[in-house]
Chains A and B, each alone.
Chain A
Amino acid sequence: MMVESDEKILSLFKEEKTKEKAFKLLIDKYQRDIYYAVRRIVYLHDDANDVTQNVFIKIWRHLDGFRGDSSLKTWLVRICVNESLSFIEKKKKLLNLYDDSYTSYMLKTVKEEQYFSPDKIQHLIQEAIIQLPEKQRIVFSMRYYDETPYEEMAQILNTSVGALKASYHFAVQKVEAFLSKNSEL
């Protein structure tokens, strides 16, 4: 499968005749990035599937207004984060769950639901990540799994590089402390 450049996709999207073709190219190029960016926040596959489709609909509506202030991928991941966080807020309200009870719900979900790796160490790491505060959880996942540069994360999360580095540092400390405590059991 040939991967088109962002410039080519954007120029094709501006023409009404090639708009849909351009969007298909965009989906092919970024569907994995978008899906995993969503999945690392919402965790469940079914939720991630719904949010991913909503993200693509939003992209379809607003891609004309993309000004190119950041890279296309940064812009797309920013939409993913915003959509995922608003999805979680809605879900918390729907299930009448608040921060602590939502963490318990997520821990239970990861153990019981399908489409999670059966690897025990990976489960342990995820248990540690779920217990992090929301912002640290997002920063940790982006940096640890996707190796997103701090500058790009700063644009996505609209915060400073220093704050992100501090956030990641504290998140790593908490995860390591959790692993030290629980891997011995």
Chain B
Amino acid sequence: MNLDQYPKKEFFEVPEHYFDELPNKVLNAIHQEKKYVLRKRLWMISSSVAAAMIVLLGVSFFLTNPNNDDNISLEVEKVEVDSLPSAVELAKSEDVSFPDMVDEESSSVKQERGTTSMSTPVEKIVKPSTEEPDFCNLDMQIIEYYSEDIVSNEYNELK
């Protein structure tokens, strides 16, 4: 059987006036689409502005806050510099057996080297120790290194 024998008719029907109304339906849908796009753009702009504001507020808070890291580090540096002269006073106020310490240092170095000669202050400082470092005494050693004579005089005066 040949298909050409049959009349070619449109099988699909549409409601009455469908094609008269379709353009308006489509244009309404397009208007909704435009509104949606506009709302989406506005939302994106407002959220970007809000994000920028939050960043600006965060940065300005960080810069204006006196307790930020830069100020802290400056204070730490200041404390370190200021604390240097007070170490002498600290040594005065505490009961530090300075000559004993020097003697202990000298004898231990002597034992290690097996010599009886006087070791230099540098050798005393770099001596390896298994004990936990005593920073108060370390200060004293530094002071001794740089101003052994002065400290000895001060000690003698105190004595």
Contacts and interface: CB of A to CB of B under 8 A. Distances in A.
Contacts of B99: none
Interface residues of A, number: 38
A179 B3 contact: yes
B27 A20 contact: yes
Interface in A1-39: 20, 23-24, 27-28, 31-32, 35-36, 39
B26 A145 contact: no
A70 B139 CA distance: 88
Contact of B12 (A24, A56, A115): A115
A28 B23 contact: yes
Categorize the interface residue count of chain B. 20 to 34
A163 interface: no
A52 B3 CA distance: 30
A117 B10 contact: yes
Nearest to B12: A39
A175 to B, nearest CB: 6
Contacts of A24: 23, 27
Contacts of A179: 1, 3, 6
Contacts of A116: 11-13
Contact of B22 (A35, A61, A175, A180): A35
Interface in B14-70: 14-15, 19, 22-23, 25-27, 29-30, 33
A144 B29 contact: no
Given A31-B22, A179-B1, A125 B13 contact: no
